[in-house]
A and B are shown apart, each in its own frame.
Chain A
Amino acid sequence: MHEPPHWRDRPQNERLLARECRTCGYVSFPEHRRICKRCQDEVEWDEVRLQERGTVRSYVVQNRLPDEFETPLPLAVLDMPQETDGEPARVYGLFTETEPDDIEIGMVADADLRQLFDINGLPVHSFKFKLPRGER
């Protein structure tokens, strides 16, 4: 396990802070580089907050994992819109408290801040996804 990266990535993991390219609109998340993955130029970025509700674009259900994980463990690639206008960020996310059969492409899911694991006693927080309240 690497400790400094988890510290560096706290704004992304704990506050869903992303950056939007002023040139092409690409949303960089969780990365926060100077060079845009799409324009391939060093560009100006605006900090943007992502909504805590995303749309599932595809998913799998993992059944075989190391012992640290509870299975079956659904995992999805989601588009998370910005709080204001603009393109969403495309991210991977683990699910929690969700029946695998309830997941489908196109559904919305809510991001929920959790302690994912700890490193030498230091907790690492990030978001997991689950069905919106009321749909469970």
Chain B
Amino acid sequence: MRDVAVIGAGMIEFGELYEQSTDDMAEAAFLNALDDVDYGISPDEIDAGWLGTSNIAGDANSGLGLAHPTGQFEIPIMRVENACATGSSAFRAAVEAVRAGSADVALVLGVEKMHDSAEGLIANAALDQVWRGRGVTMPAFFGMRATRHMHEFGTTREQIAEVSVKNHENGSKYPYAHYQFTCDVEDVVQSPQVTYPLQLYDCCPVTDGAAATIIASEDVADNYTDDPIWAAGSGLSTDSLLRGNDSALVGFEATTQAANQAYDQANIGPEDIDVAEVHDCFTITELITYEDLGFCEKGEGGQFVEEGTVHLDGEKPVNPSGGLLAKGHPIGATGVAQINEIYEQLRGEAGAVQVGNDPQYGLQHNIGIGRNATGSVSCVNVLSRER
């Protein structure tokens, strides 16, 4: 098996992009990724593509959603959809194909328009199967773990709010983030109630966005850059709250499973991760994810964030980009953007949000909810500065 490196990354500013179509956003992210390749790249050197999108806007049912805006015709393209782990799953699939030798240079493109049909999305989630889902919204799926985490471990409302404070602080320094404001714990707990115990500032915004990543095999990576960032390990798993394991009431076991796969493949442990971009669709999701990824012990997530360990200048910076809470969560683009952010961090190019610990290993994580929350999917990718 060959080693695979990220050699280029492009994004657009996330936000309410009413004036842009899915294709507009995809095209811009692609052009930015081409521009980012150190020694340049010709579009015809790309020999495979993976498109991550949930197609919320009904704009792209196949690989054509990648081919049309980028001009990448006559090559194999697969569309990947895997709930909120769509973007990271697309990256994982592309890496595996290049590793196996079926392509040398591949494009991973994640794109989502959330704003054209936000009402439809919420209504669909709320009105479906009688027992499992009727009237159950996204914040409920996650809030359920918050209530239980507080009950079982004494996690406080204020500790959960700290995640939002940290990520908005980071997001205010990150140029691509949807929201650029800062807030304090008081603002979070005073914000409007969405689904107890989660309030407005505990929830990520509805955001459009696109991101593109270019990867290359070890055989050709040198043609493009002296500073490639290597795909060191990846994991993917699914699990269900309704399998009856009590641990699923306070965690997302799919994350632990995916992380262990990724750590094993990279031959490292959670203690080796220097920077992470994780799925903070809600504050509680990030807090629990510290535990699921092995960054701290089960039940200690509240203390972990309160003590500042995960802050930009902490020992284990998490979501220097501002995370989904500040940056937004355009489903297909989210994971690809996170890969790009880790790539920038490991190259030391993350500007105002560059972590200061000379990062060697970075981790990217998504968790997705499906089947009316009874099933969840998680994808974890580890990138490394050294091959």
Contacts and interface: CB of A to CB of B under 8 A. Distances in A.
Given A57-B148, A60-B147, A87-B244, A6 B135 contact: no
Given A9-B130, A57-B249, A65 B148 contact: no
B373 interface: yes
Given A37-B243, A57-B148, A60-B196, A1 B131 contact: no
Interface of B: 122-123, 126-137, 139-140, 143-148, 151, 192-198, 240-244, 249, 372-373
Contacts of A30: 130-132
Interface string A84-103: 00010011111000001000
Interface of A: 1-2, 5-6, 9, 12-13, 26-27, 30, 37-38, 57-66, 68-69, 72-73, 75, 77, 87, 90-94, 100, 105, 116, 124, 126
A60 B141 CA distance: 9
Nearest to A87: B244
Contacts of A1: 127
Given A61-B196, A64-B194, A66-B126, A94 B145 contact: no
A87 B130 CA distance: 22
A62 B139 CA distance: 8
6 contacts: A61-B196, A62-B135, A65-B135, A75-B140, A77-B144, A91-B242
B148 A60 contact: no
Nearest to B203: A64
B147 A105 contact: yes
Given A26-B244, A30-B130, A62-B139, 13 more contacts: A9-B129, A30-B132, A60-B139, A60-B146, A60-B196, A62-B136, A69-B126, A73-B135, A87-B244, A91-B242, A92-B132, A116-B130, A124-B130
Contact of B131 (A13, A37, A105): A13
A63 B127 contact: no
A58 B135 contact: no
Interface centre among B130, B145, B241 (most CB of A within 10 A): B130
Given A26-B244, A57-B148, A58-B145, A65 B126 contact: yes
B134 A116 contact: yes
For the complex of A and B, 5 pairs with smallest distance between CB atoms: A58-B148, A61-B196, A60-B143, A126-B130, A30-B131
A58 B127 contact: no
A35 to B, nearest CB: 12
A75 B128 CA distance: 15
A112 B117 CA distance: 35
Contacts of A64: 137, 139, 194-195
A15 to B, nearest CB: 13
Given A30-B131, A126-B131, A60 B244 contact: no
Contacts of B243: 26, 37-38
Contacts of B147: 58-60, 105
B242 A37 contact: yes
A38 B243 CA distance: 7
Nearest to A38: B243
A57 B241 CA distance: 12
Given A6-B130, A65-B126, A58 B244 contact: no
